[in-house]
Amino acid sequence: MPTTSLSLPRFILPRAASLAQGGAALLWLPQAALLAWAVQAMLAAAPWRAALLPAAGVLLLGVLRAGCEAWG
């Protein structure tokens, strides 16, 4: 009976695009934090300008997330 050598499959490192897509899935966490920050400012009766910085951050992270998902 002939014997054949069994070998384990080689581990292939993920491509950069797939890592970017996986990282994009994690961008909802800072988006949620910025949204909570804006809601907290609104509940504290802060002026509407207090929500501009969190809104800009959510927009920036959303564009970054969409770009990473499109690339991956």
- State pLDDT tens for residues 19-47: 888 889 999 999 999 999 999 988 998 88
pTM exceeding 0.75:
no
Provide the pLDDT for residue 28: 92
- DSSP annotation of 28: H
- Write out the two tokens for 52: 């501009």
In percent, the amount of the chain with pLDDT more than 70 equals 96
Provide the pLDDT for residue 1: 61
Burial code (b: 16+ CB inside 10 Å, e: under 16) for 31-59 equals: beebbebbeebeeeeeeeeebeebeebbe
59, pLDDT greater than 90 = yes
